[in-house]
Amino acid sequence: MLLSMADELPNPEQVFRHIPCLCSVLMLATRTVTRLYDEELRTVGLEPTQHGMLLMVKSIGSMTLGELGERLALDKTTVSRNAKILVRNGWLSLARGEDGRERIALLTEAGAKKLAQARPYWERAQQRMRKALPAGGFESVRRQLPDLALAALKA
């Protein structure tokens, strides 16, 4: 009997649990979790990165695009590309900074409405992750990931 290529491949759990590199496991986890949030948020026309950018500006207030990128650990290209989309859709506005080169991100009224519209879909993604993890797993991961990110900044 011939086995198909799919029959010979280990299942995702076998692969995920045997990757020795912390970075590789984190990248894999990030991609798979992001897909889940993307499935939910695309219903309202947002990607997870765009949702995060809007949420950060709403939470902290206006800031330069550089500061926004630093706070979200996003490279300049990702921030710029997504800021253009958010501005084009009227969810974010950009003002010139004091030196004329900086661009300051401001949440618009339409952006606040978009976040409110996205909230139930974001909550559904959160709930899907809670259900998929063992009891207490969601909270445990949520508590540990900031420590991991801060440790990487110090390393």
pLDDT digit string (tens) for 44-89? 999 999 999 999 999 999 999 999 999 999 999 999 999 999 999 9
* Fold entry, domain 49-127: Arc Repressor Mutant, subunit A (1.10.10)
Residue 104: count other Cβ atoms within 10 Å of its Cβ: 17
Average pLDDT over residues 23-48: 95
Residue 1 vs residues 6, 8, 10: alpha-carbon distances, Å: 14, 13, 19
Domain boundaries, the chain: 49-127
Closest CA to 122 of 43, 28, 27: 43
pTM, two decimals, is 0.85
Average pLDDT over residues 117-142: 96
Residue 5 pLDDT level (bands cut at 50, 70, 90):
low
Q: Where do we find the tokens 């606040």?
A: 112
- Comparing 9-18, 31-40, 100-109, 117-126, which segment has the lowest mean pLDDT? 9-18
The residue that leads in pLDDT, 60 or 153, is 60
Average pLDDT over residues 103-127: 98
pLDDT at 2 over 50: no
Helices 48-60, 109-132: inter-axial angle, 10-degree rounding = 120
Let me know: does 36 contact 48? Beta carbons within 8 Å: no
